[in-house]
A = this chain, B = another copy of it.
Amino acid sequence: MTSDSLAQIAQAELHALVLSALLGHGASDAQARAVADTVTAAERDGSHSHGIFRVPGYVASLRSGKVDGQAVPVLSRPAPASVVVDAAGGFAPLALATGIPALCETARATGVAVLSIGNCYHFAALWHEVEAIAAEGLIGFACTVATPMVAPAGGARPFFGTNPLAYAVPRPGRLPLVVDQASAAMARGDIMLAAEAGRAVPEGVGLGPDGAPSTDPARILEGAQLPFGGYKGAAIALLIEILAGGAIGGPFSDEAGAADNADGGPPVGGEFLMALDPAQLGGGSDWQQRIDGFLDRLSAIPGTRLPGARRHERRKALAAGSPLSVNGARLTALRQLADTRK
């Protein structure tokens, strides 16, 4: 978040504003509602870089005609453990809502299943979808590519997307364990927020357009981000290109970048999701309890903190339906988008 003043808004009102902004620019009710759910959940959990900050991009991609706001996702099942959803050129959230129930039903029968989302426009965090899989009592995994932003190990120009991966594990009687992290040392959304705020970023985050290390977020956005953890993080970014690009037939990041119209909205792409039912994989009927105990032993170590804990603490602290604090300038922009028509 920038230093802009905060504004209070009820969750239901925020949802209605996002819905209105998208409906007013050509989205169907189903497409708009799925995006509004995702944006509202991001603001609720404090994921500001994936909240209303993204709405102008969603609207821009409807305005430019890149995204088909009326798209109706089509589900198929090419093999017993494989669910494919063709998003038909729409946003990812409706395609995910279409595919995840079938993914979970399949994994419970087969032990493991993959959901391949193709031909979609993804502009959100991934924790939303892996949490939905964990809510079904399964282990969820997701990853997606983007456009070239991250240099490969040894290289000085962008080639990989920021390529986030996420996983979630159900915990009996508690919110699930949820990890959602970019393969870049820093999420691009956070570099964009730093640039907006005129704040330097740490060393190791990126290179300037000249290929030399930089801490200036604006120069890094013109240059290249770096993967987390050197060549090992680059190998994770590469795995994500292979799964969410190659394996499911979507574009790789370099192809998505070449195809994009630079309207400020999301690029075309795919998303790879997987659900695992450990009870069918030799994990026994008590696998949730065993993992839960392991996570308790981990979080008992001084200095540690489970991934995603901050987001969940924030969610629990919010009384149901209580208003959210959001960036005031962005809320004003959202109200304008909600009032305009294409």
Contacts and interface: CB of A to CB of B under 8 A. Distances in A.
A284 B78 CA distance: 11
Nearest to A78: B280
Interface residues of A, number: 69
A111 B82 contact: yes
Interface of A: 78-82, 84, 109-114, 116, 118, 139, 152-157, 159, 167, 169, 179, 181, 185, 228-233, 235-236, 238-239, 241-243, 245-249, 252, 254, 270, 274, 276-278, 280-284, 287, 290-291, 294, 297-298, 301-305, 307
5 contacts: A155-B304, A179-B239, A231-B307, A243-B276, A246-B294
Contacts of A294: 241, 245-246, 252, 254
Contacts of A167: 239, 242
A110 B230 CA distance: 35
Given A152-B301, A179-B238, A229-B229, 15 more contacts: A78-B111, A78-B282, A80-B109, A80-B111, A81-B81, A81-B113, A112-B113, A139-B242, A139-B247, A155-B301, A232-B233, A235-B307, A242-B291, A249-B278, A252-B294
Contacts of A109: 79-80
Contacts of A304: 152-155
Contact of A247 (B231, B281, B303): B281
A114 B276 contact: yes
A258 to B, nearest CB: 11
B283 A248 contact: yes
Q: How many copies of this chain does one complex carry?
A: 2
A46 to B, nearest CB: 17
A230 B185 CA distance: 10
Contact of A110 (B82, B84, B303): B82
Contact of A111 (B79, B111, B228): B79
A281 B84 contact: yes
A116 B281 contact: yes
Q: A153, A229, A239, A241 — which one has the most chain B CB atoms within 10 A of its CB? A: A229
B232 A280 contact: no
Contact of A80 (B80, B278, B287): B80
Contacts of A185: 229
A233 B181 CA distance: 10
A283 B79 contact: no
A114 B111 contact: yes
A181 B235 CA distance: 9
Given A238-B179, A239-B167, A282-B249, A303 B154 contact: yes
Given A239-B167, A249-B287, A283-B247, A302 B80 contact: no
Contact of A278 (B154, B169, B247, B305): B247
A303 B181 contact: no
